[in-house]
Amino acid sequence: MGAVSLNPDAITPHEETPRSEALNRAMTRDAGTRFEPLAATDNVGRYTGLVRLERLVQV
């Protein structure tokens, strides 16, 4: 598997972070990056996957 490179300013919520909290954090980003996916992490900070903002706003 290739290496994952994240923007140093990337929001990386824990995989158990409440949906509303992750969405609120994402919406504080600059307009140019606001709708980019979030990189989810596990208990020790390892990358576990991407979360698209569309997924966070679904009920």
Average pLDDT per 10 consecutive residues for the chain, totaling 59 residues? 60 84 90 89 89 85
Share in percent of the chain as helix, strand, coil (round to 5): 20, 15, 60
Looking at residue 3, its amino acid is A
Task: Report pTM.
Answer: 0.71
Q: What sign does the dihedral 51-10-57-35 (CA atoms) show?
A: negative
Structure tokens at 26: 């994402």
In sequence order, which residues have a C-beta less than 8 Å from that of residue 53 and are 6 or more positions away?
Answer: 23, 26, 35, 36, 37, 38
